[in-house]
Amino acid sequence: MTEPRPLDRLRQDARDELAALIELRCRLGEDPWVFLPELPSVDEQVVATLREDRLQDGGWAVQRARAYHPTARPGDVERFEFELLRGIALEHPELSQAAWSMLDRVPSAW
């Protein structure tokens, strides 16, 4: 299991990542007025990073596979994502608002 990183470091990494993405998209000729509103906030990017870390490190990968399996019951995806994001919000209360805002972007079951 990886060592937890301090929130300040996670936020700085997220800022760097978003800055690199903005620069790339501008260099590719995209209009920042068009794509900037669809980018995540710094805290949302941190939550996304923590989500990916959890999927890589813990038993969440098996649960994710079950939730996203074609034979999964309706609502399994939403329940899985809720529990995953809830854990992040409980562990990092400063990120609660960002974690809950990401629930709106959870893909619905197929």
Query: Per-residue pLDDT tens for 17-63?
Result: 999 999 999 999 999 999 999 999 999 999 999 999 999 877 898 89
**Helical segments of 28-108, H only:** 32-35, 42-57, 60-68, 76-91, 96-102
pTM across the whole model: 0.84
Q: Average pLDDT for residues 77-100, to the nearest whole number? A: 94
Q: Which amino acid, 101?
A: S
What is the sign of the dihedral through the CA atoms of 50, 52, 57 and 63? positive
**Per-residue pLDDT at 25:** 97
Mean pLDDT of the chain: 90
**Per-residue pLDDT at 3:** 59
